[in-house]
Amino acid sequence: MTQPVRRIIHIDMDAFYASVEQRDNPALRGRPVAVGRSQERGVVAAASYEARPFGVRSAMPSLLAQRRCPQLVFVPPRFEVYRAVSAQIHAIFARYTPLIQPLSLDEAYLDITQPLIRRASATAIAQEIRAAILAETGLTASAGISYNKFLAKLASDHNKPNGQFVIPPGAGQDFVAPLPVSAFHGIGPATARRMNALGIQTGADLRAFPPETLRQHFGKAAAFYHGIAHGEDTRPVEPDRPRKSLGKETTFDQDLIHDHDLNEALQILAEKVWAGCEKRGLSGRTITLKLRHADFSQLTRSLSRQTPVRDQSELLQAGLHLLRPLLPLQKSVRLLGITVSSLCDPQAASGAEQLSLLPSA
């Protein structure tokens, strides 16, 4: 029996955090707004559409954003509000399908191949969802509609803000061909640079690249890259996708150079990460330490255990085990982070004999 063509919608809220702030404070409407802190080490969490013509973008240092747009208004983030609005939006999604895969508070995939509410087309469902979001939250959303997740994600960026776009069956390969690989969801900046060095600039270049050579350079990921270059993506919408990691990081107001300061910072982070693990009833076998230096160079170190971390003390000791070989510091540190991955039920560690820490490959 022939499987029906999948109908996937990618919903992406327009400048979500900034739009919530403009909705709740009429004085901000029509003005360039950045959600974040304007302090020296602040980072822009979101920028309104009025700020974007100045080159202000999310993840940009606040000082740089302010230089680019002197009239930029900074507002502190209110994540509890964003989470509440996100829950409203997801309740709207649930009227149409149980197959919802959140990517973040402001975007999600929906599989409406067999919708709960029948409509003439996926386009009509996307229009109805966007209208409901506007009516119930006062916010606009953009949508991409296609036959797989990769193309739906590309399509949602095609007509922003407050628009939608369809890539119908059979049109994916031609749509992808002229696009730069740096615009592909699933190909990060570092991978895009590696592809560019191999002469792969666009989707058409990626499609023409020999699969075996692609595998030599990119390993298992080559099959996915080869597929999306042809407009193909078999990944399902995963409504109950398990969490892969829990972590915390902090950017310091002043660079750290002394060992004891870094140790203290790591202790605070380990405490926060373990609180998150306990809240979710999770632990993990892999611990990763991240340091970013003042010159923005970055390094990570990981170790894997045969048993999951059992408590906050074990997590801290694992972090210190990774940190010690890096001391004394040769360069000051502006950011420190620690993450637990290979998550599992911590009861798996109950009664288990503690094993030595083994550096991961």
Cis check for the bond before 328: say yes or no (omega within 30 of 0). Answer: yes
Catalogue the E-assigned strands of the chain: 8-13, 33-36, 44-47, 73-75, 100-104, 107-111, 141-146, 164-166, 245-256, 283-293, 298-304, 333-344, 358-359
pLDDT of 215 > 70? The answer is: yes
The one catalytic residue among 40, 50, 80, 107? 107
The amino acid occupying position 24 is D
Give the separation between CA 29 and CA 24, rounded to whole angstroms: 9
**Cα dihedral sign for 135, 35, 239, 181?**
positive
Tokens representing 5? 């063509």
Chain Cα centroid distance, residue 207: 26
Per residue in 11-66, pLDDT (tens digit) is 999 999 999 999 999 999 999 999 988 776 678 889 999 999 999 998 788 889 99
26 in the Ramachandran plot: left (φ > 0), alpha (ψ -120 to 50) or beta?
A: alpha
Query: Which has the closest alpha carbon to 43: 57, 32, 53?
Result: 57
Residue 77 has pLDDT above 80, yes or no: yes
Which DSSP string do the residues of 125-187 spell out, in sequence order? Answer: HHHHHHHHHHHHHS--EEEEEESSHHHHHHHHTTT-SS-EEE--TT-HHHHHTTSBGGGSTT-
Total-model pTM: 0.74
| Dihedral angle sign, alpha carbons of residues 164, 166, 172, 177 | negative
Give the contacts of 14 (CB within 8 A, at least 6 positions apart): 49, 139, 140, 141, 142, 160, 161, 162
* Percentage of the chain lying above the pLDDT 70 cut: 94
> 181-214, pLDDT tens digit by residue?
999 998 988 899 999 999 999 999 999 999 999 9
Is residue 269's pLDDT more than 70? yes
Name residue, tokens 């997801």.
Answer: 90
Cα distances (angstroms) measured from residue 201 to each of 94, 193, 208, 209: 39, 9, 11, 11
| Edge-first strand listing for the sheet containing 33-36 | 44-47, 33-36, 73-75
Strands 141-146 and 164-166: what pairing?
parallel
40 annotated active-site: no
Q: Of 133-142, 291-300, 304-313, give the range with the top mean pLDDT.
A: 133-142
Which pLDDT does position 59 carry in this prediction? 79
Cβ burial of 61 (10 Å; 0-12, 13-18, 19+) is middle
